[in-house]
Amino acid sequence: MQLQILFLISSIFIAFLFVPISAKQPLFIFGDSILDAGNNNYINTSTFGQANFYPYGTTFFQSSTGRCSNGRLISDVIAQHANLPLLPPYLQPGESHFYDGVNFASIGAGALVQTNQGLVIDLHMQLRNYKNVQRLFRNKLGDFRARNRLTKAVYLFSIGGNDYSSSFILNDSTFLSTYPQSEFIDMVLGNITFVITEIYKTGGRKFAFLNVPPVGCMPIARISSTNGDCIKEPLLSYPKQHNIALVSILNELKMKLPGFKYSLYDFYTNLQQRIDYPSKYGYKEGKTACCGSGKFRGIFSCGGTRGIEEYELCENVDDYVFWDAAHPTEKVYRQLADEMWNSHSHGSYSIKDLFYLS
């Protein structure tokens, strides 16, 4: 009898040793302001690259968090669907384990190092930060369990929009005009492909992507149009070509890299639909932002800390597609994330599929 009890106790102890720290699939987030949960709070940048002041975040969090919205982002809603907590910014002080995942994204970041250089955490630096987390996993869990956890993880990307829009917004087309359109787009996608491949080498197999949104139809672009229309060149033409090429690249990676699986969400089309037909999706205004100044509230002045102190703030943010001159409202992000969770675009997996795959 004593022998049986000892065997039972030892069996329980051994089983306990092999219980994973979290049974959930981790989520690692890369990209720009569409996904940044506050990394730019902790870097030396300008207020144009931050959102840690009133009225950002106040609808959901009751205070600003560094998210470019009145509340949560797509990444927050996806984490909720995956039964994960709100994932912290990588640079947030006191965060060091990241077992459920972490957010590496940075407001204003591009796939190219030159995009807003010195003011953002570019995609290559985000990769280096990820590799620091990979080493942390290996030190804490050992090589086998660390790689297993990274293989089960989902890697979420929203990147590229700033590479095409920053030159226009800053009124400096020098960098963009240095290269033919196709060559410039190839450079952006080449950098994204490199980062994907590097993550794959660490064990990453499940990737989720938002394509580039219609930046030419955002209030910050529309305000520059003489008749208030979208800016087609380069702010619609480049994203369109980028998105077409992205589909081909992901299919090539699927053929080239064993076990590579991806989800691709058509951010461009689904945001454009809400801009053009707001009432269909429960909005009253698709062109003018809730917070900002000037025509369409397209001047990036929300909060009054970006060189212009006076700004307007709408009464009911849920009536608006855009929160500020360049970013959608939480309501839009929730709708898009819900669609994204179940969407099968271009024959890819849904994000829900990725989280349930072993």
Contact 251, 209 (CB under 8 A): no
Q: Do strands 101-103 and 206-210 pair parallel, antiparallel, or not at all (unpaired)?
A: unpaired
Give the C-alpha separation, 320 to 314, whole Å.
Answer: 9
The DSSP-derived string for 90-145 is TTSTT----TTEEE---TT--SSTTTTTTTS--HHHHHHHHHHHHHHHHHHH-HHH
Contact 208, 81 (CB under 8 A): no
Token pair, residue 333, equals 């992000």
Token pair, residue 133, equals 């987390």
Dihedral, CA atoms, 96, 134, 126, 118, nearest 10 degrees? Answer: 70
Contact 295, 225 (CB under 8 A): no
Q: Do strands 261-265 and 27-31 pair parallel, antiparallel, or not at all (unpaired)?
A: unpaired
| Residues known to be catalytic | 33, 324, 327
